Amino acid sequence: MKKLEILKVNFILRSDKKSSGSSPVMMQLYLSGRRAYIGTGHKVNYDEWDSNFGRVKGSSKR
């Protein structure tokens, strides 16, 4: 029987790279027990980040 390989994707903030109040957003990938991090090139203020859902708080209608 073949094992299904599942790709998991999470978005996290790098709090150790905080500069001028904002932190870089990283994409965290899991596949077959391995983990990889990829920078997205975006920075977000820590107060605007929702860590439960891995996204920025608020709406796009601002």
pLDDT value of position 51? 85
Task: Indicate the pLDDT class of residue 53, thresholds 50, 70 and 90.
Answer: confident
Give burial (CB, 10 Å; 0-12/13-18/19+) of 49.
buried
Does this model's pTM top 0.75? My answer is no
Question: What are the domain boundaries of the chain?
Answer: 8-56
pLDDT in tens, 6-51: 889 999 998 776 667 788 999 999 988 899 999 999 988 888 888 8
**What distance in Å separates the CA atoms of residue 57 and residue 40, rounded to the nearest whole number?**
18
- Both tokens of 23, joined, read 């932190």
Q: Which residue has the higher pLDDT, 60 or 26?
A: 26
